[in-house]
Homo-oligomer: A and B are copies of this chain.
Amino acid sequence: MSTRSQVLELAILGRLRESPVHGYELRKHLNVTLGAFRTLSYGSLYPALRSLTERGLISAAEPRSSALGGRRARIVYHLTDDGREYLDSALASAEPTSWEDDAFDVRFTLFGSTDARTRLRILEGRRARMVERREKLRQSFRRTSRRMDAYTAELARHGLEQVEREVEWLEQVIDTERGTRGALDYGSLPTREPRDPTTSGDANGYSAPDVTQTKEQL
């Protein structure tokens, strides 16, 4: 059982691996990267930070107020050695909880700090899960579609389609992982409708960024 708060903890530790941050900014970051729309409330974030601090995985640094002017003192959190150790072992695991709905996104986001074999195992686990879901949907759709009214059927069809696309996406990512064996280039992933390259130019064509160096440490 990957409780939501465990996933949140992982996300926090993962972000803290990059650099220390304070709560307010952490929240903004998490709202952008994960969830996309799931809004992380302070009522979840701050208790999580406290819990992690109590367990010695992170540590709070009250900064010398000055320098930035008179803003309310920000409490900057950073990973402790224990925290880094804990995070590394968490990132090396590839159990079913890693490809559960919520957890998967977080794990994927942290693939930059995950070794290639673990990445592949998680991706394959996720794919198996999605295929399973797809089959279940297909079956229940075939069995019941003529007893459904048109709207219910259309919604089911659309839901099925979304899952099918999820599987296709995973397949492409897995292929890329297998092909490149570490050097990541997602610019080569086919986009559904080739977008106008003049807009935001490099949006699709980044060559492997700093990920490689982080990964090399493993």
Dominant secondary structure of chain A at its interface with chain B: helix
What residues of chain B lie closer than 8 Å to A67, measured between beta carbons? none
Q: In chain A, residues 162-177, which have Cβ atoms closer than 8 Å to a Cβ of chain B?
A: 162, 165, 169, 173
User: How close is A79's CB to chain B, nearest CB, in angstroms?
Assistant: 17
Give how many copies assemble into the complex.
2
What residues of chain B lie closer than 8 Å to A71, measured between beta carbons? none
Q: Given the known A-B contacts A154-B173, A155-B109, are A145 and B190 also in contact in the complex, defined by CB atoms under 8 Å? A: yes
Q: Taking the complex as formed, is A93 at the interface, i.e. its CB lies under 8 A from any CB of chain B?
A: no
Q: Taking the complex as formed, is A60 at the interface, i.e. its CB lies under 8 A from any CB of chain B?
A: no
Q: Given the known A-B contacts A145-B203, A165-B165, are A152 and B189 also in contact in the complex, defined by CB atoms under 8 Å? A: no
User: How close is A131's CB to chain B, nearest CB, in angstroms?
Assistant: 13
- Bound CA span A172–B217, Å: 47
Q: Which residues of A contact B (CB under 8 A)?
A: 32-33, 36-37, 101, 105, 108-112, 133, 137, 140-142, 144-159, 161-162, 165, 169, 173, 184-186, 189-192, 200, 202-204, 206, 208-211, 214
A-B contact pairs, 15 of them (CB 8 A): A32-B140, A33-B148, A33-B152, A36-B137, A36-B156, A111-B151, A112-B152, A142-B200, A149-B210, A151-B211, A153-B189, A157-B189, A158-B169, A161-B191, A162-B165
